[in-house]
Structure 1
Amino acid sequence: MPAPLLAGLSGLGFGLSLIVAIGAQNLYVLRQGLRREHVGAVVAICAASDAILISAGVAGAGALLDAVPWLGTAMRWGGAAFLLAYAALAARRSLHPGDDALRADDAGLRTGLLTVVGTTAALTWLNPHVYLDTLVLMGSVAAGHGDGRWWFAVGAVLASVTWFAALGYGARLLRPLFARPAAWRVLDGGVALVMTAIAVGLLVGVA
């Protein structure tokens, strides 16, 4: 197998192993996909952000986190604060569901594009784990491929694009299930629990 192809497949596999997991970003993409609400913008932001971070990691930007220790701490505090705030909103939706979650096709009830873009960007860039995965882990593994490291990056970016597109646009297949109010309450309750757990993990890392 040609070395560039091998490096690309390695990047694809490694990228999927990191991204296919229950996390704040994936849960938000799933929720927007279920609501069919600005899915293209959400997928584009997530995929483009990963492409930028993966490229930076392969280029060696991970050394910045080692050189500036306080930067990692600041990102943990900021990420934890945002996640706890979003968890509180999700918990409120779970305990007091409204019709907006169930009638997403009604344009009058759709969340504004700027709000969705801001939330997607925050869930992506305020999550310290994304920097560990892309700048540190991805960069380290890519370096092992020598001259083929950029093919590794291409594979990893392809994994990101494929996953977010499948999650965002494939979520509509679950819409019959989420026609039930109880299903939305369970989803929002799960979102609240996962985001709270991630935030606590970030704060424990700071302590």
Structure 2
Amino acid sequence: MGAAAAGFVLGLSLILAIGAQNAFILRQGLRGEHVLALVLVCAVSDAVLIALGVAGFGALVLSLPWVVDVARWGGAIFLIVYGGMSLRAAWRGGQALEAARGAAPGLWRAVATCLMLTWANPHVYLDTVVLLGGLSAQYEPAWMFGAGAVAASFFFFFSLGYGAKLLRPVFASPRAWRMLDAGVGLVMWAIAARLVTQ
């Protein structure tokens, strides 16, 4: 397998798991709010981190454990709060659908949330900078492996953000939104618990 193809496959396999970032993009895609800006934030952030990993910064991150600890605790606190907000929306039930149809939160608020879900998550660094960065050394040229991983990130986030509209008929009922909000909240809390216990 060529370096770019290997990077694409490995990058896609790492990003497919449902996480806080993916759940947020899915929700925004279902609502049709700021999709282009948000998928670009996610994909460009991944591109920057993958480039850092390919350039050899993974070893630096591992040599500064306090950086990982700060990101871990900050990310856990943010996920607990965000998960609680999602569970509250699920508890409110039918009001979630009305909120979804109501005025959209501002672009900058949505982007700020997306940036927090991306950059305050230590797993993002481990997957992109450390793991993909380390694997890139096995391929020649390493930058082609990185380019494949970046392409996978763009492919995934654009597919998730814009493909979510195919599920909109399912989310025409308050019950579906309630289940989505509950699922998002539980995913956030599960990730926060994993961060705290690691």
What does residue 126 of structure 1 align with?
A: 120
Match of 1:199 among 163, 180, 192: 192
- Provide the C-alpha distance between the structure 2 equivalents of 1:53 and 1:156, rounded to a whole number of angstroms: 11
Deviation at 1:8, TM superposition (A): 0.3
What does residue 129 of structure 2 align with?
A: 135
Residues 96 and 174 of structure 2 are in contact (CA less than 8 Å); yes or no, is this contact kept in structure 1?
no
- Provide the C-alpha distance between the structure 2 equivalents of 1:162 and 1:181, rounded to a whole number of angstroms: 30
Residues 178 and 184 of structure 1 are in contact (CA less than 8 Å); yes or no, is this contact kept in structure 2?
yes
Aligned length: 198
Residues 36 and 104 of structure 1 are in contact (CA less than 8 Å); yes or no, is this contact kept in structure 2?
no
- Provide the C-alpha distance between the structure 1 equivalents of 2:99 and 2:131, rounded to a whole number of angstroms: 41
5+ residue gaps, structure 1, are none
Residues 36 and 105 of structure 1 are in contact (CA less than 8 Å); yes or no, is this contact kept in structure 2?
no
Deviation at 1:68, TM superposition (A): 1.1
Task: Give percent identity, aligned residues only.
Answer: 53
What's the TM-score once normalised by structure 2's chain length? 0.96
Match of 1:79 among 72, 75, 82: 75
What does residue 8 of structure 2 align with?
A: 12
- 1:90 partnered with 2:86: yes
Query: 1:52–1:120: structure 2 CA closer, same or farther, 3 Å change rule?
Result: same
User: What are the residue-to-residue correspondences of 1:14-163 with 2, within 5 Å?
Assistant: 14-97=10-93, 99=95, 101-102=97-98, 104=100, 106=102, 109-145=103-139, 147-163=140-156
- Deviations along 1:38-76, one digit per CA (max 9) or x if unpaired, are 000110000000000000000011112222111111111
CA RMSD of aligned residues (A): 1.3
What's the TM-score once normalised by structure 1's chain length? 0.92
